[in-house]
Structure 1
Amino acid sequence: MPTLILLFLPFLFHLFSPILPFPSPTCFAYNTSAGLVPGKLNVHLVPHSHDDVGWLKTVDQYYVGSNHSIQGACVQNVLDSLIPALLADKNRKFIYVEQAFFQRWWRRQTPSIQTTVRHLVQSGQLEFINGGMCMHDEATAHYIDMIDQTTLGHRYLKQQFNVTPRIGWQIDPFGHSAVQAYLLGAELGFDSLFFARIDYQDRAKRKVDKTLELVWQASKTFGSSAQIFTGAFPENYEPPSSNFYFEVDSESPLVQDDIDLFDYNVPDRINDFVSAAIAQANITRTNHIMWTMGTDFNYQYAHTWFRQMDKFIHYVNQDGRVNALYSTPSIYTDAKYAADEYWPVKTDDYFPYADRVNAYWTGYFTSRPALKGYVRMMSSYYLAARQLEFFKGKSKSGPKTDSLADALALAQHHDAITGTEKQHVANDYAKRLSIGYKEAEKLVATSLACLSQLSSTGECQIPAAKIQQCPLLNISYCPASEVDLSDGKDLVVIVYNSLGWKREDVIRIPVFNEDIFVQDSTGKKVESQLLPVIDASLSFRDFHTTAYVGVSPKTIPTHWLAFSAIVPPLGFSTYIISSDKGAAAKSGRQTIYKSHQNATVEVGPGNLKLIYTAHDGKLARYINTRTSVEEVLEQSYGFYSGNDGSVDYQASGAYVFRPNLTYPIRPEWPVLTTVLRGPLLDEVHQKINSWIYQVTRVYKGREHAEVEFIIGPIPVDDRIGKEVTTEITTTIQNDKRFYTDSNGRDFIERIRDYRKDWKLQVNQPVAGNYYPINLGIFMNDNTRELSVLVDRSVGGSSIRDGQLELMLHRRLLHDDSRGVDEALNEIVCVQDECIGLTIAGKYYLRIDPLGEGAKWRRSFGQEIYSPMLLAFTLQDKNDWTMSHLKTFSGIDPSYHLPENVAIITLQELENGKVLLRLAHLYEIGEDKDLSVMATVELRKLFPEKKTIKVAETSLSANQERAEMEKKRLVWKVEGNSKGEKALRGGPVNSAKLVEDFDSLGLNWRWSAFTSEQEVCEGTSAILMTKIEELVERKITQRRRDEPPETIMRILYIEILQFPLIILELEYIVVRAFVAEYAA
C-alpha cells in the first residue's frame, strides 16, 4: 500500500534518531487513556491468557494449581488477580475464552464480586470471546460436538451477563477447518476469527504478500454470504518478540523508569517497542496491528503484566512515533472494518499444518484412537439421550444429561480428542465421559421404560421394568443379552432410532443360547441368523472387560445373534427373543479356505459380491449386480516406522507424523480364510498376523462392505514405533485428486503435493499429504468413485493413484518435542500385566458410478454417527405385550423428514423451551436429486406437543437471527468472489407458496409464514387475510436485486390452531430454532 509506506518512513527515520531520557515521574499515574489515532500506526495491546482445559495436567489440576511438579499453572490465580488489576485502571482490558474454567471460578464468587465482574463486562474492560467451554480442535472434532460445546458456553454467558461473543479466537488448534470458518464462525454471528498456527511455508509467503489477514469464504455453497474476516498472527499467539513477556518469572527486560535507580532504560525499551511495531506493520495492511500480550496460563499475578503495559502506553505515546492502546479483538476488528480496505479471499482450509521442515502435525489425526472412538460413541449417545429426555419430559430431580454434556465439551479441547495430552490426562477425559454416561444411561432407561409403558392416566408411573444397556458391546461384552433363556424367560430388546427417517438395520448381539428365535412387536417371527463368537474376539473381550470394568465376564457367549429391525423415525420398536428348539435362528454355514486351494470365493447374499482368492485370502474384485459396477479391489495392511529423531531431532510423536520407512504387513502363512454365510449377512474372517484380526461383512440389503478390525498390541520389542495403516487399492485413475470431509460436513478437494495458496516445497511426501477424516474420504475418475467412511476421526490420504489409505493405530517410543514430553505408547493393565493398547473399530467402503456416491456417504454417514440404541429387559413376553407399547415415534405417523434433512439437536431447555437444530446434509451440486431445497413441517415433527412459539436463532441459540444479521459486517474483497448467488431457505412469495406446497400435497392455505420479527396471529377466520397482507407487503418492500435470504433467517411464529408450519432448508446448512411448548 503506497500510502502506508509513506506513513512508515518517518517511523523508520526516528528509529535512528537520538531519544532523550524521559524525566522521572513525580507520581506513578501513567496515562493509559489512548484511543485510536487516525493517520498513525495503532498498536492494539490485547491482554490474554491461553488456558488449556487439560494437557500436561487435568482440567481440575490446572484450575486449582495442583500437581505443580509437572507445570506451575493455576487458572484460579489468573482470575483472582485479574479483577483487582482491571479495577485499578478503567482503561485496562482483558479477554477471556475458556468457559470451563470461568464457570468453575464464577460459581465460587460472592454476590459482591459477581456484581463487580458484571460491571467490568458491561464497560468492555473484560470481554468474553470465542465463548465455548473450551477452544475446540478443528481437525478431529465432529461439527455436532463443536456446536454443542460452544452452545454450553454461549448460553451461560447470555444468562449471566446478557452478552453474545462476536470474535472467534482459535489461537492454538493445529490447523483450521472450513466448517470452523463458516459454521462455527459466521453462523455464530462472529465478525472475525483469529488464530496462530498455519503452515510455515504459507506464513512466509503471506508475510511478503501482506495476506496474513483476509476474508475467508469457506463454503462453496454460500460463498460471500458466509464470509468472515480472518487473521493469522505473524508468529504465535504470544507477544511479538522475546522482549515483551512479563509473567513473574519471565526474563524480558522491564521498563525501569526511575532515574534515581540503576539500569534506567526507557529510551531503549521504547525503541524496542517501536521497532517491533514497525516490523509487524510492514507485513500488515492498514495502520492497525495487534499484539497478543500473553500466552499459556499467564497473568497468575496480573499486575506484573499491566504495570509494564501501562508504562509502554504512557512512554510510547509520549514518544509519538506510534500509538499504543489497550484493546480487544473486537476493537481491532472494528478498526479494520472502518479502514475500508479491500481484502484477499481464501476459499479452502488450513490443513495440513507444519511448523517447520519435516514436521507435519498430521499424526494427531489418529493419535489415541480408543479415546477418539469413545468420544464419538458418547456424542451419538448424548444426541439420543436428549431426544428421549424431551419426549419423556425433563425432570428437575434427574437423572439428566448435564454431566455428559460437560464431559463431551471438555473432550473437544484441542489437547483432548486430538490425543496430544499426557496419559493421565487422557484417563481423566475418559473418566469424565464414563461418569456422564452413567447418569445419562439412567435417563435413557427411565425414558424408554416410561415411553413404552401403557398407562390409563397418561402419566409415567415408576418404571417396573429393569432396562439395561451395553456400553461395551463393541468388545463383544453385553451381560444384558448373555442370559440363559432356557428357563422360559424372554429377552425384550428395545431398539431406538434417533434419525428422522424410518430405518432398517441388522442388529447383532452376543447370546448364550443357540435354540432361540426373534419376534417383532406384533408376534411375527423375524428372520435371524447365528454366527459363532471367534476366539480372537473372546480373548480381546475378557482382558479388556477386566481392565475397564474391574471384573471378569461371568458368562461366555456362544454366538452372535443377528436379526433385522425396522424402527420408526425418532422412535423405537421392540423385539422379543425366546427359546424354542423347533423355531431356532438359522446358523450360518461355515467354510474354511486354506492356502493350497486355488479357487476364488464369492461372498455376499445380496447385490454386492466380493471376490476373494482362496490360496492367499486376498480380496480381488468388487461387483454390484444392480449398478453393474465391477472393479478390481484389494485391501491390505502396512505400517510406517516412526522416526526416532536421531538425525534432526524431529521424531514421530503424538502430534507429528514423521515416517521413516514403509513396511507392508504380509499375512502369516498358511493363510486361513473363514467364510460364514447366512440369510442376512456373510462374514469373512481373516487372521492377518498375531496382532491384526479382520472381519469383513456384506449384508443382504446393503451395497457396501463393512470391515471390522482388531489391531494390537502393536509389537515394539524391536524398539521401533509403528503407525498402522490400511490401504484400499483399485484401478480408479484419480490423477492425484481425492476428497476429505471438514468436521463431518463439506467435502474438500485435495491434490497430492499441492497447495492452492502457495507453491509447496515437498519434504514429506507422505505426512504432508495426510488430512483429517471424520466422516469419510473418496476419490473418482471419469466413470467410478470409491468412498470409505469411518467410525471415528482418523488420518488418511491417497498417496498413490487408485489407492486410499487410512491410519488406524499408532504406538511410538519417542516424544516429538512439542511440549507433552511423553511418548505415545498407550498400555492397558490388569493387575501386574500390562500390554500395548488394542483397538477395535470399523470402516465401510463402497464403489458407485460417478456422481452416485454422495447419497450413500450422506445417508449412511448419519447411520454411522447415530447407531441404533439398544436396551434390554428380561420379561415374560405375554406380560410385556399386554402392559407396554409395541412401538413409538415422536413424529406424526404419516410423516418423516426429507432424505436430505437431519435433526442434530432436540433438547429441552428451561421454562418449556426446546432447542431444535435441523441440518441439510448436501452441498450445492453434490447430488442431482438431493442437493435441492427441502421442506420441513415442524408441526408434524412433534404432534403430541402444543407449540406456542417458534423463533429462529443463531447456531448457538444465544440471539435471534434477525438481530444477528443486523450486526453482521460485510467486508470488501479483492476481485470478483461473489460467484453464483447462494440459495437460501426461508419465507417464500405467494406464487411459490402455492407451487411448492401443492407439489408436496400440502394444504398451503393453512400454513403460517412470517419473516424477521413480525408475528402472524389470529383465529382461523382471519388467518388467510393476514397471511396475504403480510406476503404482499413483503414482496413490495423487497427490491428485485435484493440479495438472497440469510443462511439462518429468524422465523418467529405464533401458533394458535394452525395445523402445520413449513420451513425451507438450504444446502449443507444447520438452522437452529427455540420453540416454546405448552405444559
Structure 2
Amino acid sequence: MVHNVLILPVIVFLIATVTGVPAGNAGGYNVGCVKCHALDKNKINIHLIPHSHDDVGWVKTVDEYFYGVNSGQVSVSLIITSVVEALKRNPNRRFIQVETAFFHKWWEENEDLREDFKYLVDNGQIEMVNGAWSMNDEACVNYQSTIDQFTWGLRKIEEMVGKCGRPRVGWQIDPFGHSREQASILSQMGFDAMLFARMDHDDKDKRIQNGDLNFLWKGSANIDDSIIFGSCFPNSLYNEPDWFCWDINCGDDQIVDNPHSPIYNLEEKVKKFATVLQNFSTYYPEENKNILVTMGGDFQYQAAGYNFGNMDKLIKGFQTFDTEFNLIYSTPSCYIKAVNDARPNLSLKTDDFFPYSDRNNAFWAGYFTSRPTIKRFERTGHNILQATKQMYALSSSFSDDGKLTELKEAMGVLQHHDAITGTEQQHVTSDYVRMLTKAIKESEEPLGEIISEFLESDVKMDLSSCLLSNMSICSTSQNNDKFVVAVYNPLAWKTTHYIRLPVKGGSYQINGPDGTEVYDLIETLFSFNYVKIKNEKPSSIELVFAARDIPPFGFKIYHIQRTKKVKITNKTRVSKVTSFEMDLVTNLIKSVTLNGVSINVSQNFHFYQSNDGYSDASEVASGAYIFRPLRDEPLVLENATIIKQFSGKLIEEVHQKWKNEYADVYQSIRWYKNENYLEFDWIVGNIDLDKVGFGKEFISRFNIDNFDNKDTFYTDSNGRELIERVKNNRPTYSYNSSQEPVASNYYPVTSRIVIKDEKKNLEVAILTDRSQGGTSLDKGQLELMVHRRLVFDDNRGVAESLDEYEFDGGLYARGSHYLVFGPIKNTDKDKQSTAAKERILAQKKLLQPWVGLAPTNFTFEQLKHKMKLSYGALTAELPENVNILTFEPWVNGSYLLRLEHIMEKDDDNVLSMPAKISNLKDIFKNITVTEMTETTLAAHLTRTELSERGKYSWIMINNSFSTTNARTVINADEQITLNPMEIRTFILKTEKKSNSANGRNSCFISFGILFLVLYLF
C-alpha cells in the first residue's frame, strides 16, 4: 500500500492544478480558489474587505477616470497596478476586484503584469466579485440588459484569469435602492449572495434593532429557487470607519507602531477601532461571531502600500492589545462561508428596497426620471444590440462577433448606476452618447450584406437605422425618391410594426412581399425648429405604413418610391373618433374604447415645483438623485388646444398643444387601427427655470372615473414581475409618510404601472418606453414623471444641477405611453387576459423590429427579381408566452441561446401554464443543433458545475432549505419545459446549412478548385 500513499499527494496536486483550486490553506479554509484566514471561535471575527469603488463614469468620463486626467488625478489604472504590487509583498493581504470594464482596460494595457494578477487570483489573494461589465443600477435598468452585461463581463473575466476568477458574490454596494429582480438574476446565475450598502435609513434602523442586517431574499414570486443570502454593511455606506482612511487622498493619521517614537499611536488606534467594532456588534444577534467591515471607498488604493501597511499594523495591534475581536484580511466569499457555518436563523424578504431615503425628506426617486433622453437612447441601443446579435448568429458569413463587441461594452457601461440613472455630469452624459452612437454604427455596418445573404442576393444595401427619427430627421427617407426599408423582427413570434419615416411630402408607392401597401401621410407633431445639426433639417411630414406579420427572426423588404407632390389637409376640431373621444371644452381626452370595453379617462400634464433645500432649513433639494416637491399638489397645465386631427387608413390621431409660459408641451393621442392599446406620444422641452423661480418636474397624470384601487398599485421590477405597492406603506418597516407624501410613494417604472378595481373587475395599465418615476396618489389615478429641469444640486456628489441643454436651449424629451385596460379576470377562459396583453405588448415595444434604410436605384420590379423579399429563420413561431431572450455567437463557433417564459403564474388561464418546446434541435431552418449544454443564467457556469460545486443551505426562521438547483444536461431532441418567469440558458454546438445562394457559390468554388486540380495534373 506504500505506492498508494505516494501517489495520493500527486493526485491532489494534479486536481488542484487542473481545477485551479489551491491545494490547501493551513489554519484557514478555502472557498473555491479564495484562501480564507483562520477564524477564532472565542472572538468576534472581523472580516476586513479591502476594496476600491470605481465608477464607470460619474463626474468624469470612463477614460478620464481610468487614465487619471481632468480635475483630479484619480487613476483606476494606477489603482490596479498598485494593488498588485502591494499584494505581492505580503501573501496575507486580500483585495476584491469589481468593475470588469476597468479591469479589462487595465489587462489590455498591462501585459507585463498579467501573470502577476493571475497568480494572485489563483493564490486566493484577489477575489473577483460581481463580475458584470459595470455595477449596474437596479431601478432604471431592464432585466435583459442586466443579464447581457453580466454575461459579457463574466465571459471576459474567464478569458483573462481563468476559472479561479469566477465571481460568486453580487457586490452592489452603491446603487440607490435594490430591486427584487436583481436578487432573482444573481440567484439564477448561481451566486451565493448579494452584498450592498444603501438601504432606507428607517429600514436600516429597524434591521439594526432586530439584528436583521443579514437576511434571506426571495427574488421571484414565481421561481422557487430564487432565494439568495443578502447582507447590508454595518457602516453608514461602503467606506472604512471614520478615522481609518489611509488612502493618499485621506487626512487620517497613519499608524505609528514604533513604541520608541514620541508619536507612537498603535494602542490608541486599536482602542478607537475597537469602539467602532463594539458598536457594530450591537447590530447583530449575540451569537453572531462574524462582522464584515469594508476598508476602502471611491477610487482608493492608488498607493495601496499606505492602506495595506496600516491594516497590517492594525491587525497585529489587535493580536497584542485586544481580546474581544479577531481582525483578518478577508473577502466576501470568506465572510459568507463563515456566516453560513455559524447556522444563523435568518428572516425572509419578499419585496424590494425602493424608494431609498438616506435621511428625513430625502427620497432618491428623482433619478428614476433624470436625463430622460439618455434613458430612451439606452433602450434603443438594447433593441439594436439584440437584433444585431441575432442576425450575426444566423449568418454564415459573420459568425465572428468582433463588430458587436463595442456595442456590448457600450451597453454594459450604460447600465452603470451613474449612467442610465442620469446622475452623472453633463459632459459625461455626452461621452456616453458618443460611445453608444459609435458602437451602434459599428455593429450595423455589415447588416446590409447579412440581409442580402438571407435574401439570396448579391445586391449591396448600405442599411442603417434612423437614430434621429424622433426629431423627424432621416437622411435616407428625406433625400431620396427611391429607397429600401428592411424590417427585421427579433421576437420569436410574428409581429406587425408601424413604420414612421420623415419624408419631404408628396405621394408614394410602397411595395413589399405582400403587394402594394397602404399608407398615411401625417404632419409631424412638432416643428423641431430648435434642432441645429449640420446638413440635417427636420421634416414636417411623416409617412406611416404597416409592416405586417414580420416572420419571427425574419425580414421583410419594402421598396418605397416618391411619385408626386400632394398637399396634406387636416381637420382642427374633432369630438369622437373610433377609439377615443375628446372633450371639446377642455380639449383633453374624455373616454376610450378598446376591445369592446369603454372607460372614462382624462389625461393632462402637471408640474411639481422643486424644493430648493432652504425653504424649510432641511437643506434637502430636488436634484439629479432626489425628488422633493415644494408642495404636495402639482400645478396643472391649462389652455390645451387641439391643433390637428387625422383619421386615415391606418391610424387616427389628435395633436394637442398646451399654451403656457413654463415649457413647450405637445402630445399626439394615437390609435393604430385594430390594435389593443392607445398611444400617447408626448414632447416636453425647453422648461423655463425663470418662471416661478424654481426647478420644474413634469408629470403626465391619468384619472379614471369611478375607479377604486384602494390605495394599491403595481409597478414592474426591471421589466419582469409586478410588485404590489400600497400608498404610505412599507411591508417591513414604518416611516413618517407626512414628511414627503409624494416622493415617498414614488417607485421606478421600467415597463408598466397598473391599478385594479376588484369590484369592477377592471385593470388599467400604462406602459412606458423607458424608466420613469411613477405612483398612484388617489383613487383611479396614475402619474408618471416625464422630464425634470432643476436649479439646485442635491449635494449627493454629482456637484452639478440637473439643467440639461441642447442646441442652445433647454433639453426636449419625447416619449410614448401606452394605455391598456380590460378585465382583471376573464369569464371567457379562451380569451387572452389583460395582464397577458400587457406583457406581450411590453415585449413588442422593448424588442421592436430593427428598421434599416438604404437608397436604391432599382425599381421595385428590378429589386424583386434580384432578391427574395422575405425570410424567416425559425421553422415555426414559438407560443406567445415564450421569448427567445438571447441568440448570439458565443465562443469557439458555439451559440448562446436563452428561452424565457414571459408570464407570471397568475397572469392568464392559458398562457401562464408551463410552456413546452418539443425539439430545440430543429428550431432554426439553417442551423442544426448537434449538442447543447445547459448553464446558469449568465452562461459562465454549467448546471453540472453548479451541482458539483453546490450552493449554500440556510436556516430561515421556522424553515430550513437549500438553494441548490441541480438540473442536469439535456439532449437537443428532448422536450424543454419552461415554467412561469423561468429563463433557461444553453450553449449550442451546431452545423449550419448553407443558404441556397451560398450553396451555389460553394458549388462554383468546388468546381473551380476541381478544374484547377485537373489542369495542373
Partner Cα distance (1:641, 1:394) in 2: 56
Contact 1:923 1:1067 in 2 (8 A): yes
Is 1:292 the counterpart of 2:297 in the alignment? no
**Deviations, residues 714-766 of structure 1 (Å, cap 9, x unaligned):** 11122321000010101320011000001111110000100011122211100
Identify if the C-alpha distance between structure 1 residues 1066 and 347 changes in structure 2 by more than 3 Å, giving closer, same or farther.
Answer: same
Identify if the C-alpha distance between structure 1 residues 252 and 1067 changes in structure 2 by more than 3 Å, giving closer, same or farther.
Answer: same
Identify if the C-alpha distance between structure 1 residues 397 and 341 changes in structure 2 by more than 3 Å, giving closer, same or farther.
Answer: closer
**Map of 1:954 onto structure 2:** 936
Partner Cα distance (2:167, 2:332) in 1: 11
Letter in 2 for 1:551: N
Partner Cα distance (1:92, 1:45) in 2: 10
**Map of 1:324 onto structure 2:** 327
Contact 1:684 1:696 in 2 (8 A): yes
Partner Cα distance (2:842, 2:480) in 1: 36
**Map of 1:1064 onto structure 2:** 977
Contact 2:496 2:547 in 1 (8 A): yes
Between the two proteins, the alignment pairs up a number of residues equal to 931
Is 1:740 the counterpart of 2:693 in the alignment? no
Is 1:710 the counterpart of 2:697 in the alignment? no
Partner Cα distance (1:568, 1:66) in 2: 50
Secondary structure of 2:623's counterpart equals coil
TM-score under structure 2 length normalisation: 0.89
Partner Cα distance (2:968, 2:406) in 1: 31
Letter in 2 for 1:246: W
Identify if the C-alpha distance between structure 1 residues 394 and 364 changes in structure 2 by more than 3 Å, giving closer, same or farther.
Answer: farther
Partner Cα distance (1:1049, 1:518) in 2: 51
Contact 1:186 1:226 in 2 (8 A): yes
**Map of 2:131 onto structure 1:** 131
Identify if the C-alpha distance between structure 1 residues 882 and 399 changes in structure 2 by more than 3 Å, giving closer, same or farther.
Answer: farther
Q: Please, which moves more after superposition, 749-758 or 37-46? A: 37-46
Q: Give the 5 Å matches for 1:427-438.
A: 427-438=430-441
Letter in 1 for 2:257: D
Q: Give the 5 Å matches for 1:929-940.
A: 929-936=910-917, 937-940=919-922
RMSD over aligned CA atoms reads: 2.1
**Map of 2:967 onto structure 1:** 1049
Q: Give the 5 Å matches for 1:253-292.
A: 253-285=253-285, 286-292=288-294
**Map of 1:993 onto structure 2:** none
5+ residue gaps in structure 1?
1-31, 455-460, 594-599, 979-1042
5+ residue gaps in structure 2?
1-34, 826-832, 993-1017
Letter in 1 for 2:104: Q
**Map of 1:38 onto structure 2:** 41
Partner Cα distance (1:1046, 1:729) in 2: 46
Identify if the C-alpha distance between structure 1 residues 1077 and 733 changes in structure 2 by more than 3 Å, giving closer, same or farther.
Answer: same
Contact 2:498 2:544 in 1 (8 A): no
Secondary structure of 2:836's counterpart equals helix
| Aligned-residue offset at 1:369 | 0.2
Q: Please, which moves more after superposition, 798-807 or 113-122? A: 113-122
Identify if the C-alpha distance between structure 1 residues 33 and 362 changes in structure 2 by more than 3 Å, giving closer, same or farther.
Answer: closer
Secondary structure of 1:744's counterpart equals coil
| Aligned-residue offset at 1:1046 | 7.0
Secondary structure of 1:482's counterpart equals helix
Partner Cα distance (1:1061, 1:368) in 2: 47
**Deviations, residues 173-227 of structure 1 (Å, cap 9, x unaligned):** 00000011011x111111011000000000111101000110111211124x211
Secondary structure of 1:602's counterpart equals coil
| Aligned-residue offset at 1:564 | 4.6
Letter in 2 for 1:1071: R
Is 1:172 the counterpart of 2:174 in the alignment? yes
Identify if the C-alpha distance between structure 1 residues 452 and 614 changes in structure 2 by more than 3 Å, giving closer, same or farther.
Answer: same
Q: Given the alignment, which residue of 489, 501, 524 partners 1:497?
A: 489
**Map of 2:467 onto structure 1:** 471
Secondary structure of 2:86's counterpart equals helix
Q: Given the alignment, which residue of 572, 577, 580 partners 2:555?
A: 572
Identify if the C-alpha distance between structure 1 residues 559 and 36 changes in structure 2 by more than 3 Å, giving closer, same or farther.
Answer: closer
| Aligned-residue offset at 1:276 | 1.6
Identify if the C-alpha distance between structure 1 residues 576 and 977 changes in structure 2 by more than 3 Å, giving closer, same or farther.
Answer: farther
**Map of 1:635 onto structure 2:** 603
Q: Give the 5 Å matches for 1:331-730.
A: 331-393=334-396, 395=398, 400-454=403-457, 463-483=459-479, 485=481, 490-522=482-514, 524-534=515-525, 536=526, 539-540=527-528, 542-544=529-531, 546-547=532-533, 550-553=534-537, 556=539, 558-579=541-562, 590-593=570-573, 601-604=575-578, 609-624=579-594, 626-627=595-596, 629-646=597-614, 647-661=617-631, 662-668=633-639, 671-689=641-659, 691-718=664-691, 719-730=693-704
Contact 1:521 1:576 in 2 (8 A): no
Q: Given the alignment, which residue of 799, 817, 830 partners 2:795?
A: 817
**Map of 1:843 onto structure 2:** 817
**Map of 1:9 onto structure 2:** none
Partner Cα distance (1:858, 1:916) in 2: 21
Is 1:235 the counterpart of 2:251 in the alignment? no
**Deviations, residues 21-65 of structure 1 (Å, cap 9, x unaligned):** xxxxxxxxxxx9962111321011111110111101111111111
| Aligned-residue offset at 1:518 | 2.3
Letter in 2 for 1:174: F
Q: Please, which moves more after superposition, 752-761 or 561-570? A: 561-570
**Map of 1:802 onto structure 2:** 780
**Map of 2:22 onto structure 1:** none
Letter in 2 for 1:273: F
Partner Cα distance (2:215, 2:176) in 1: 19
Partner Cα distance (1:1046, 1:317) in 2: 38
Q: Given the alignment, which residue of 787, 804, 814 partners 1:826?
A: 804
Partner Cα distance (1:900, 1:806) in 2: 28
**Map of 1:86 onto structure 2:** 87
**Deviations, residues 849-889 of structure 1 (Å, cap 9, x unaligned):** 12332111110101110112112332221221011012111
Contact 1:470 1:871 in 2 (8 A): yes
Secondary structure of 2:222's counterpart equals coil
Letter in 1 for 2:345: Y
Q: Please, which moves more after superposition, 174-183 or 932-941? A: 932-941
**Map of 2:311 onto structure 1:** 309
Secondary structure of 1:543's counterpart equals coil
| Aligned-residue offset at 1:503 | 1.0
**Deviations, residues 487-528 of structure 1 (Å, cap 9, x unaligned):** xxx433221111010112322222334322323215x22232
Partner Cα distance (1:1048, 1:521) in 2: 47
Partner Cα distance (2:520, 2:102) in 1: 51
Letter in 2 for 1:472: L
Letter in 2 for 1:514: G
Q: Give the 5 Å matches for 1:1023-1034.
A: none
| Aligned-residue offset at 1:580 | 5.4
Q: Given the alignment, which residue of 854, 877, 881 partners 2:835?
A: 854
| Aligned-residue offset at 1:465 | 3.0
Identify if the C-alpha distance between structure 1 residues 859 and 78 changes in structure 2 by more than 3 Å, giving closer, same or farther.
Answer: same
Identify if the C-alpha distance between structure 1 residues 517 and 182 changes in structure 2 by more than 3 Å, giving closer, same or farther.
Answer: same
Q: Please, which moves more after superposition, 273-282 or 558-567? A: 558-567
**Map of 2:890 onto structure 1:** 909
Partner Cα distance (2:475, 2:232) in 1: 52
Partner Cα distance (1:1046, 1:675) in 2: 59
**Deviations, residues 602-628 of structure 1 (Å, cap 9, x unaligned):** 223xxxx2111123212111223x44x
Partner Cα distance (1:556, 1:787) in 2: 33
Q: Give the 5 Å matches for 1:988-999.
A: none
| Aligned-residue offset at 1:1062 | 2.5
Identify if the C-alpha distance between structure 1 residues 1050 and 397 changes in structure 2 by more than 3 Å, giving closer, same or farther.
Answer: closer
**Deviations, residues 917-947 of structure 1 (Å, cap 9, x unaligned):** 1111111212222111111232332121122
Contact 2:591 2:602 in 1 (8 A): yes
| Aligned-residue offset at 1:1069 | 1.9
Identify if the C-alpha distance between structure 1 residues 449 and 943 changes in structure 2 by more than 3 Å, giving closer, same or farther.
Answer: closer
Identify if the C-alpha distance between structure 1 residues 939 and 371 changes in structure 2 by more than 3 Å, giving closer, same or farther.
Answer: same
Identify if the C-alpha distance between structure 1 residues 326 and 887 changes in structure 2 by more than 3 Å, giving closer, same or farther.
Answer: same
Partner Cα distance (1:645, 1:905) in 2: 46
Letter in 2 for 1:696: I
Partner Cα distance (2:109, 2:266) in 1: 41
Partner Cα distance (2:960, 2:754) in 1: 27
TM-score under structure 1 length normalisation: 0.84
**Deviations, residues 407-446 of structure 1 (Å, cap 9, x unaligned):** 1110110000000001111111111001101101213233
Contact 1:1048 1:1072 in 2 (8 A): no
**Deviations, residues 681-738 of structure 1 (Å, cap 9, x unaligned):** 1001111235001001012111211010111111112232100001010132001100
